[in-house]
């Protein structure tokens, strides 16, 4: 039973992590709700750290994606044709 609960928690966390991509304005409400007990400085620090983490992850994904595409010989025009 705990395995199923952990699965649902992981799925829920994944959906919450995708929320900023779908609707950034909703994320503001989510941030304010989750950081209700934090001071303004703590909230700003958390926002800064989240921004740094997102930047790092996106940079790694960009370069890793380039390596994968080059490895398999996939080009951007080829992706456009494929749809």
pLDDT tens by residue, the chain, 83 residues: 688 888 888 888 777 777 676 677 777 787 788 788 889 898 889 888 888 888 898 899 999 988 998 899 888 888 888 77
Question: What is the rounded CA–CA span in Å between residue 54 and residue 18?
Answer: 12
Question: What is the rounded CA–CA span in Å between residue 13 and residue 29?
Answer: 17
Q: What predicted TM-score, i.e. pTM, was given to this entire model?
A: 0.57
Residue in this structure with the two tokens 């989750």, named with its chain if needed: 34
């Amino acid at each position: 039973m705990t395995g199923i609960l952990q699965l649902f928690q992981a799925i829920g966390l994944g959906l919450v992590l995708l929320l900023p991509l779908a609707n950034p304005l909703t994320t503001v409400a989510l941030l304010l709700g989750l950081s209700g007990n934090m001071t303004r400085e703590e909230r700003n620090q958390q926002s800064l750290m989240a921004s740094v983490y997102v930047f790092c992850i996106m940079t790694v994904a960009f370069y890793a994606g380039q390596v994968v595409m080059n490895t398999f010989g996939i080009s951007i025009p080829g992706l456009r044709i494929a749809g």
